[in-house]
A and B are shown apart, each in its own frame.
Chain A
Amino acid sequence: MRKAFTRLRFVCTIALVFFQSCEQESDAEFQSQTELYKNAQLANIYDNEVAVLASSLTKETQLLEQATKTFRTNGTTADLKSAQEQWKAVQSVWKRLELYDLGAVANSFIAFEINRWPTDIERIEGHINGSEVLNEDFIASLGSSSKGIAAAEHLLFSVQDHILDASGTYLQRRNEYLLAVVENLHSKALQLQTLWETHAVGFVQALENGINGSQNQVINAMVSLIEEIIISKLGNPLGDTNGGTIVPERLEARLSAFSKEIVQQHLTALKRCYTGDFALTPFRVGFDDFLILIGSEKLSEKISDQFAVCQTKLNDIEGSLEDALVSNPESVLALKYAFRDLLVLVKVDMANVLGSTITFNDNDGD
């Protein structure tokens, strides 16, 4: 017995030395190729996609602010057209950046402030017809459904000729509201950029596998976005919830006829995130490389192929998504099914081989 406990003390000492050395090792370089790849993948995502898009969003919203000011001053149809085009430029960038609403950035709920869809038209019109001073401070005090990109879309794209021709208070207040929304949008874009800059190091270094691990968060974000496309952006307009009656009104960005482009931007963002091909850097690691590294070449190929299927189905839709919904809903349904198959591959297969936690709850497992 005495001998056994002497040995026990010896084992405890060894264990203590072992754990102390573990702590000392924490600053060392990556000890495994998996960690090296994971770190390279996260750095690639931030440096070549998130940082670039966040900066781009700031610039594009600034340009939108300028275009809106010009439109408010001159009020011509050409100026309106120019502002509308700039709104599309903002939306294009946002729809790629929206994928990366994760970690500390997601916890700030800034994504809702930038774009909450659908927007609350009644409330917006109520503010315009009201008597409050319409400036950025006022917009900042409002809930997310009365501002952001979706609100700007309503204000820019629902303008009818009679509104442009009107010279009354309504037009003036409407333009004031629009400008305030766009100014607020630019502020939020700057805020988002700062948020990302602040948390970039944490994002790139969170290599752990748990729910706080960045790779896991990115997978969860991919799953959420694909589900959002299937359920809200395609399923609802296709009539999934009402027994199959087509409802074009439920399309995102229907007013601007930008719905299809939005799906395209999401698809592009998802594919780039998967392949890591953001920029022509020599070591651009994506999930496809990661899957190959851990011996899942077949799955890596299957997912790449499915992205191609989604792209083909999207290309098959002629004209706007609204037109396709009315004249050829089967093509939209085919697109939805293509995204559904992509969802299964990412949420089920990829998560299974990566041992990812597709949950935001860290309940114990045994």
Chain B
Amino acid sequence: MMGIKALQSKLTAPTPILPLVIFRMAFGLLMCFSQLRFMWKGWIEDCFVSPSFHFTYQYFSWVEAFSAPTMYIIVGASALFALFIGLGLFYRASSILFFLSFTYLELIEKSWYLNHYYFVSLVAFVLIWLPAHRNLSLDAFLFKGIRLSKVPMWTVLVPKLQLAMVYFFGGMAKLKSDWLFEAQPLKIWLQARTDLPIIGSLFEYDGTAFAFSWAGMLFDLTIPFLLWNRRTRPWAYVLVAVFHVLTYILFNIGMFPWLMIAGSLVFISADEWKNLFGKFGLSLWELTENGNPFKTRKMALPLLLTYLIFQLALPLRHFALTDNVLWTENGFRFAWHVMVMEKNGFAEFSILDNQTQKVFTVYPSKYLSVVQEKQMSFQPDMIWQFAQYLNETYDANNEKDLSIYVNSKVSLNGRASQTYIDPKVDLLKVASIDAIYGCVVGLSDSGRTH
């Protein structure tokens, strides 16, 4: 009981608001840019508008895309909400609306799942509950009474923990034989980047891939602790910047590196910011406080604990679901499996009309976008979903007796392609999306082609 009280008092102890404010600004402005970039790249059409069929998430099949103009408005609005978060304008409403709009967009299409999209949703959700606008914000400028210079410690701790979990579980996901003992998929990816000046020639050697694999794993597992430790923090942050800039140069990884670099700013304490400014002859003005201290509500800490337990359990669930998460992908998403595999697949479907004995061969490219087809070809749940869609398409009135089979081949981390889903299984007889994982043929390690 004493321990809980001590923990509670530690978590509610006042701490400078500056790191939280900087985190808010960095996150908001970066997300604004990210959403505008999404529009500019034409991904609204590619992801939301063009596909006639969407792979929705389990329990979220009711989420649907709207017409192109509406989708532009929603993405544009989410960019605006993100900007407002960055500026700290109408913060609470902006953070709620950004969370809702961004998460809605993310839920429309599973084939576009990215770890950093999930991370953004989580951070946006967390920000709703944090007083990140109570200084250095337009809200604090307009409503001077809300200004705070200190906030409870837990409000700065939550984004730190969230970020630390991405790194730590990302490191754990690398504790696999492919990564450590075959240097895969880095061996493949680095060999494909020998065009880089100076360091490119090093990528021809297997030793480089091994060095990068082990260094990457060690970086992910240790960096949260190095960032947390006051002594190691300056170098740890430099390491974060170097590591992520390198991944940006080497891989087609988009916003993720910048998000992690910006997010890691939350670890830098107020004193360190002052010192940093001091190095350049600048002084950081004292943050004033006009409002009442931020009070932690009774339910805040238990809810926080529940949230953290959930965040710890989700990335570990695959241990209970499968013995090879990279192959079966059962429990792969929402678990920070970042950059751990090169996977390609092929799938063609046969539809048997049991009454007429006619067989139709379906090539997914007729119905799916390039991204959808690529992602579906090696993800069992999406193969199952597509089979259901074909059933609805070929038997709109539910009058026929159809069976649907898939001929699928998948290659993982340089292995020769292998049969993926049991071709004898009638996908329409697979009762649920979870049951399809039981139809994945085991991975054979023989026949590595690389």
Query: Which residues of A are at the interface with B, using a C-beta cutoff of 8 A?
Result: 1-2, 4-5, 7-8, 11, 15, 18, 21-23, 25-26, 31-35, 38, 207-210, 227, 230-231, 235, 240-244, 294-296, 298-299, 302, 340, 343-345, 347-349, 351-366
Contact = CB atoms under 8 A, between A and B. Distances in A.
Interface stretch (B69-77, B94-102, B149-157, B191-199): B191-199
Interface in B62-119: 112, 114-116
Interface residues of B, number: 70
Contacts of B409: 344, 348
The residue in B116, B342, B449 that gathers the most chain A C-beta atoms within 10 A of its C-beta is B449
A35 B203 CA distance: 11
Given A21-B198, A32-B194, A364 B253 contact: yes
Given A208-B195, A356-B192, A361-B46, A32 B254 contact: no
Interface of B: 41, 43, 46-47, 112, 114-116, 185, 188-189, 191-195, 197-198, 200-201, 203-204, 234-235, 238, 242, 251-256, 272, 275-276, 279, 338-339, 342-346, 348, 353, 356, 358-363, 365-366, 369-371, 374, 409-417, 447, 449-450
B253 A366 contact: yes
B346 A363 contact: no
B256 A34 contact: no
A22 B234 CA distance: 27
B411 A361 contact: no
Given A294-B450, A363-B112, A340 B194 contact: no
Contacts of B200: 31-32, 35
B116 A364 contact: yes
30 contacts: A8-B234, A18-B198, A31-B197, A31-B201, A32-B200, A32-B201, A35-B200, A209-B195, A230-B363, A231-B363, A235-B363, A240-B362, A244-B360, A348-B344, A348-B346, A349-B416, A352-B344, A352-B411, A352-B412, A352-B450, A355-B342, A359-B374, A361-B370, A362-B252, A363-B46, A363-B114, A363-B371, A364-B253, A366-B114, A366-B115
Given A8-B238, A347-B344, A348-B345, A244 B359 contact: yes
A23 to B, nearest CB: 8
Nearest to A12: B238
A5 B234 contact: yes
Contacts of B188: 352-355
Contacts of A343: 346
A173 to B, nearest CB: 38
Contact of B204 (A32, A344, A357, A363): A32
Give the interface SS of chain A, mostly helix, strand, loop or mixed. Answer: helix
A42 to B, nearest CB: 12
Given A22-B198, A231-B363, A235-B361, 14 more contacts: A1-B234, A11-B238, A35-B200, A209-B192, A240-B360, A243-B360, A298-B447, A349-B344, A352-B449, A352-B450, A355-B185, A358-B344, A360-B370, A362-B41
Which 5 A-B pairs give the minimum distances between C-beta atoms? A364-B254, A243-B358, A355-B192, A299-B449, A240-B361
Nearest to B260: A366
Contacts of B272: 1
A244 B358 contact: yes
B40 to A, nearest CB: 13
Given A35-B195, A235-B363, A240-B360, A1 B275 contact: yes
Contacts, number: 172
Nearest to A11: B238
Contacts of A361: 43, 46, 369-371
Contacts of A358: 344, 374
Contacts of A242: 360
Contacts of B447: 298
The interface centre, meaning the residue of B358, B360, B361 with most chain A CB atoms within 10 A of its CB, is B361
B258 to A, nearest CB: 11
B198 A296 contact: no
Nearest to B206: A295
Contacts of A15: 242
B414 A354 contact: no
Contact of B338 (A33, A347, A357, A366): A366
Contacts of A347: 344, 346
A351 B195 CA distance: 18
A360 B234 CA distance: 40
A359 B342 CA distance: 14
Nearest to B116: A366
Given A210-B252, A353-B450, A294 B191 contact: yes
Contacts of B353: 243
Contacts of B365: 227, 231
B267 to A, nearest CB: 15
A243 B252 contact: no
A299 B416 contact: yes
A4 B361 contact: no
Given A353-B449, A360-B370, A366-B253, A34 B194 contact: yes
Contacts of B416: 298-299, 302, 349
Contact of B370 (A2, A241, A359): A359
B279 A364 contact: no
A302 B358 CA distance: 34
A207 B192 CA distance: 10
Nearest to B360: A243
A349 B114 contact: no
A227 B344 contact: no
Contacts of B252: 210, 357, 362, 364-365
A31 B198 contact: yes
A220 B338 CA distance: 25
Nearest to B363: A231
Nearest to B234: A4
A1 B274 CA distance: 11
A365 B371 CA distance: 11
A1 B273 CA distance: 11
Given A207-B195, A361-B46, A4 B235 contact: yes
Nearest to A22: B197
Interface centre among B252, B342, B353, B358 (most CB of A within 10 A): B252
Contact of A26 (B197, B348, B411): B197
A242 B353 CA distance: 11
A241 B349 CA distance: 12
Nearest to B338: A366
Contacts of A359: 370-371, 374
Contacts of A351: 344
Contacts of A355: 185, 188-189, 191-192, 342
A365 B204 contact: no
Contact of A243 (B234, B339, B359): B359
A21 B43 CA distance: 35
Contacts of A240: 360-362
A241 B390 CA distance: 13
Contacts of B198: 18, 21-22, 25, 31
A243 B394 CA distance: 11
A352 B343 contact: yes
B238 A241 contact: no
Contacts of A296: 414, 449-450
Nearest to B119: A366
Nearest to B409: A344
Contacts of A364: 114, 116, 252-256
Nearest to A297: B449
